[in-house]
């Protein structure tokens, strides 16, 4: 396991810790998936390359495997590398189980829910040693999952009973084992992307047991071109014996939102330092402007309590959790409407309008405001009427300001080698370069001042490339790394030229 070791923790159970001191960027763990397959509740996808397929209402389509008649795109059907599909293909062909091609109103094909669990079960037979030592001990939260009776019953019928009945596997796999595998996948699987960007899920026995923390200290990358191998790197320097953890939820959600997601999907409540701090490590990421005074912010008295009161840190004024949730739901509804608009000037202008409106309601760094800033960062320079080369200086400065604010939050919640930080570093360097060149052309900046500002942009690009250089080259982040590296090369040449002129 490279630089990680398996440990037993009183709180987290089986988890991983650093086996020796590591530096930021060091590889601490890598492994191949035990199995991979379609995501739960997916539409109809090719069972080899995972691209979405079009089936008629009667289930008719040419995109079928010639052996078992289950979904397989034309390219994969004639290709030689259909390893992912070969195992279930034999099962379905022997049992003469047909694929109906039925899809629900919300686009889900429940018949495919059995595929990934079946692949785990088949992998158990081909690699029993790895199953016994790595997969079987993984958490599956059976009792908690049973509390959602509808989902438990659906899994039992659509997966366990389907595999044991029509698929004729009752002599090989018990219902209890199948439901255990379903739980292991639900609790531990990661989403990955193919080289063409199609989603799937993979089960990694060691990476999957990393402890959760809302401020992760590791970053993971999945390499589809290497059999979906996952590599885990240290985001920051770590000491010998320090626990390894990543985030099971979105770090740019507020505490209540993260807690809800973890409780519903992972069956536990987080008690990390960030969750227990009403100010979320001083960022006030969930804090509201007090309605009774002009200086204070309301924060939850007990952040991990779903029924906590919210109290002003200046005047003591109180609001109930229900009042806070009603406000946030209203604001989030407005944000969702803006996000649903077509990418264009109206969307950008509406996002700016909401940010101005929310100044009287939210702390400047509140997660809703931060989300709007991230949206604006992606639009400034890209939408019609706001193209980068046409932006006036005050809008270039606006983009820089937005990037600095989001990076200020990310520096706390995703310190070090964070992909989200890298993307914002890249976004910020462009307006900085344009502002510097505009200032020089207008004679507001000397040659030396221009060089200093370009060096600042170079530093941003260097860190961006450092973060992304280990990503799979076909991924969005890997492509951005190449673009950033090229921009860095050009800027270095520009600064070198300036240095010659100044000398």
The one-character DSSP state at 238 is B
Q: Does 81 have pLDDT greater than 80?
A: no
Domain housing 143: 36-188
258 CA to centre of own chain: 13
Give CA–CA dist 155/162, Å, rounded. 9
Q: What is the mean pLDDT of residues 482-493?
A: 96
- Does residue 441 contact residue 392 with C-beta atoms inside 8 Å? no
Q: What is the mean pLDDT of residues 261-288?
A: 95
Residues 172 and 118 in one domain: yes
Reduced to 3 states (helix: H, G, I; strand: E, B; else coil), residue 21 is coil
Residue 166 lies in a domain: yes
The one-character DSSP state at 272 is -
Residues 184 and 208 in one domain: no
Q: What is the mean pLDDT of residues 321-329?
A: 96
Residues 57 and 133 in one domain: yes
Residue 332 lies in a domain: yes
Residue 254 lies in a domain: no
Identify the band that residue 78 occupies on the pLDDT scale cut at 50, 70 and 90.
confident
Q: What is the mean pLDDT of residues 261-269?
A: 91
399-429: pLDDT as tens digits: 999 999 999 999 999 999 999 999 999 999 9
Residues 413 and 498 in one domain: yes
Residue 303 lies in a domain: no
Backbone angles phi, psi at 288, to 5 degrees: -110, 150
Number of domain units in the chain: 3
Q: What is the mean pLDDT of residues 95-109?
A: 92
Return the residue matching tokens 């939850």: 300
Predicted confidence at residue 40, as pLDDT, reads: 92
CATH of the domain at 11: 2.170.270.10
Give CA–CA dist 343/252, Å, rounded. 22
Identify the bridge partners of residue 200 per DSSP, sorted by sequence position.
192
Per-residue buried b or exposed e for 252-270, using 16+ beta carbons within 10 Å of the residue's own CB: bbbbbbbbeebeeebbbeb
CATH of the domain at 466: 1.25.40.10
Predicted confidence at residue 80, as pLDDT, reads: 60
- Candidates 386, 399, 324, 406; CA nearest to 361 is 324
Residues 21 and 44 in one domain: no
Question: Cα angle vertex 500, ends 496, 502, to 5°?
Answer: 115
Residues 49 and 12 in one domain: no
Predicted confidence at residue 206, as pLDDT, reads: 94
Residue 312 lies in a domain: no
Identify the bridge partners of residue 288 per DSSP, sorted by sequence position.
298, 362
pLDDT mean across residues, the chain: 94
Return the residue matching tokens 């009752």: 170
Reduced to 3 states (helix: H, G, I; strand: E, B; else coil), residue 249 is coil
Residues 149 and 215 in one domain: no
Q: Does 125 have pLDDT greater than 90?
A: yes
- Does residue 283 contact residue 255 with C-beta atoms inside 8 Å? no
Q: Which two tokens stand for residue 457?
A: 């942009």
Residues 398 and 458 in one domain: yes
Return the residue matching tokens 């531990």: 188
Half-sphere exposure of 433 (CA within 13 A, CB side): 21
The one-character DSSP state at 305 is -
Return the residue matching tokens 């034999």: 90
Residues 122 and 142 in one domain: yes
Return the residue matching tokens 């008295």: 301
Q: Give 296 or 498, the one with higher predicted confidence.
A: 296
Residues 44 and 141 in one domain: yes
Give CA–CA dist 201/192, Å, rounded. 6
Residues 164 and 213 in one domain: no
Residues 49 and 156 in one domain: yes
Predicted confidence at residue 154, as pLDDT, reads: 95
Residue 256 lies in a domain: no
* Domain edge (last residue) among 188, 221, 238: 188
Q: CA torsion angle for 464, 469, 473, 478 (degrees, to 10)?
A: -10
Identify the band that residue 303 occupies on the pLDDT scale cut at 50, 70 and 90.
very high
Predicted confidence at residue 84, as pLDDT, reads: 86
Residue 263 lies in a domain: no
Q: What is the mean pLDDT of residues 487-503?
A: 82
Residue 163 lies in a domain: yes
Predicted confidence at residue 499, as pLDDT, reads: 65
Q: Does 13 have pLDDT greater than 90?
A: no
439-460: pLDDT as tens digits: 999 999 999 999 999 999 999 9
Identify the bridge partners of residue 45 per DSSP, sorted by sequence position.
52
Q: What is the mean pLDDT of residues 373-384?
A: 97
Identify the bridge partners of residue 387 per DSSP, sorted by sequence position.
381
């Amino acid at each position: 396991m490279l630089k990680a070791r398996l440990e037993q923790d009183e709180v987290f159970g089986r988890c991983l810790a650093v086996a020796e001191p590591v530096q930021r960027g060091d590889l601490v763990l890598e492994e191949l998936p035990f199995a991979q397959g379609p995501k739960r509740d997916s539409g109809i996808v090719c069972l080899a390359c995972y691209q979405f397929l079009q089936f008629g209402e009667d289930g008719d389509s040419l995109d079928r495997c010639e052996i078992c008649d289950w979904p397989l795109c034309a390219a994969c059907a004639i290709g030689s590398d259909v390893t992912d599909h070969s195992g279930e293909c034999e099962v379905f062909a022997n049992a003469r189980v047909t694929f109906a091609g039925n899809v629900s109103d919300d686009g889900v094909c429940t018949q495919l829910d059995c595929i990934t669990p079946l692949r785990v079960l088949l992998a158990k037979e081909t690699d029993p040693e790895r199953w016994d030592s790595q997969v079987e001990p993984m958490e599956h939260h059976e009792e908690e999952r049973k509390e959602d009776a509808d989902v438990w019953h659906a899994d039992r019928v659509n997966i366990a009973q389907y595999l044991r009945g029509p698929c004729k596997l009752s002599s090989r796999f018990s219902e209890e084992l199948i439901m255990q595998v379903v739980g292991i996948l639900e609790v531990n699987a990661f989403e990955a992307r193919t080289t063409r960007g199609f989603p799937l899920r993979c089960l990694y026995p060691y990476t999957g047991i990393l402890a959760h923390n809302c401020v992760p200290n590791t970053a993971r990358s999945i390499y589809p071109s290497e059999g979906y191998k996952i590599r885990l790197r240290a985001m920051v320097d770590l000491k010998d014996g320090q626990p390894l953890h990543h985030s099971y939820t979105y770090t740019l959600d507020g505490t209540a939102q993260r807690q809800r997601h973890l409780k519903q999907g992972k069956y536990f409540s987080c008690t990390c330092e960030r969750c227990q701090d009403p100010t979320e490590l001083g960022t006030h990421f969930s804090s509201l402007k007090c309605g009774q005074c002009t200086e204070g912010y309301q924060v939850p008295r007990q952040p991990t309590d779903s029924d906590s009161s919210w109290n002003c840190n200046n005047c003591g004024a109180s609001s109930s959790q229900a009042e806070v949730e009603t406000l946030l739901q209203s604001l989030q509804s407005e944000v969702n409407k803006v996000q649903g608009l077509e990418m264009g000037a109206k969307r950008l202008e509406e996002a700016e309008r909401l940010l101005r409106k929310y100044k009287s309601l939210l702390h400047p760094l509140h997660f809703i405001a931060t989300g709007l800033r991230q949206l604006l960062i992606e639009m400034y320079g890209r939408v019609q009427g706001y193209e980068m080369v046409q932006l006036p200086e005050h809008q270039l400065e606006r983009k820089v300001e937005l990037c600095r604010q989001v990076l200020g939050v990310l520096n706390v919640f995703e310190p070090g080698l964070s992909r989200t930080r890298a993307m914002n570093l890249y976004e910020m360097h462009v307006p900085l370069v344009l502002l510097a060149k505009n200032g020089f052309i207008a004679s507001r900046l000397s040659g030396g001042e221009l060089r200093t500002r370009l060096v600042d942009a170079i530093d941003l690009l260097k860190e961006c490339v450092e973060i992304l250089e280990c990503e799979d080259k076909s991924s969005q982040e890997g492509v951005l790394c190449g673009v950033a590296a090229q921009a860095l090369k050009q800027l270095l040449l520009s600064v070198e030229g300036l240095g010659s002129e100044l000398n």
